[in-house]
Amino acid sequence: MAIASLSSPNQNHLLAALPAAEFDAVSAHLDLVPMPLGKMLYEPGGQLQHAYFPTTSIVSLHYVMESGASAETAGVGNEGVVGISLFMGGNTTSSSAVVQTAGHAYRLERRLLMQEFNRAGALQRLLLRYTQALITQMAQTAACNRHHSVEQQLCRWLLLTLDRQPSSELVMTQELVASMLGVRREGITEAAGNLQRAGFISYRRGHISVLDRAGLESSACECYAVVKKELGRLLSDVEYRQDALTIVR
């Protein structure tokens, strides 16, 4: 009861943007679920049963190689939804989804999601626009990982993570960041050290505090701005319900 009293579907921007009638149609079927660090929401080839709308959690989408090595292709926080293959027609995916930052999400059973999606109303439009933004993020991540330094990649990743949470404190080990970016831990150690010496972050074991966001932005490549601008462009005309305004703004 305490958790439920502190959580609202309006913390997720897609749910907050649904007109009252459409929100009422799904709200009774939304289940608030804990999202502990490391929880696997789905694995490659698995049949998806639910869509997840994060509120305070962040989920990392990974591509896993045959060797077991993996790298993040995109992150999903309170701006989006996990499980786009449900409404894109695939039902399964070659990637995995694992909780990167612990918190909560609202879960919707796939049959109910498709029922509302097929009404071709606001939910369908929101989900398709968000999917385009997610595809942009994936494409930009691939380009960034190929052409930009580990330090630039780390800045991009930190900024995108900051955008999805209210705090400037990240509970994150260097090992986990290295796994997300698909690079060696030593590369993250060097990059984090450079950012700390510049006064942009403070790092102690398992915690990263961002001290100078403007400094991070100045050290990042163009990829962060591209992803942020595209999400803003695609959802620029979204109107939030009156009861959601105080939460999403």
Alpha-carbon distances, residue 157 vs 1, 69, 134, 164, 179 (angstroms) = 34, 19, 15, 11, 12
CATH number attached to the domain at 149-220: 1.10.10.10
The tens digit of pLDDT for each residue in 131-164 reads 999 999 999 999 998 899 999 999 999 999 999 9
Please state the length of the chain: 249
CATH number attached to the domain at 2-131: 2.60.120.10
Note whether 87 and 118 are within 8 A (CB): no
Ranges of each domain in the chain: 2-131, 149-220
The tens digit of pLDDT for each residue in 160-197 reads 999 998 888 888 888 888 888 888 889 998 999 999 99
Alpha-carbon distances, residue 45 vs 48, 94, 98, 110 (angstroms) = 9, 6, 15, 16
At 184 the three-state DSSP class reads coil
Share of the chain above pLDDT 70, in %: 96
The tens digit of pLDDT for each residue in 202-230 reads 988 888 999 999 999 999 999 999 999 99
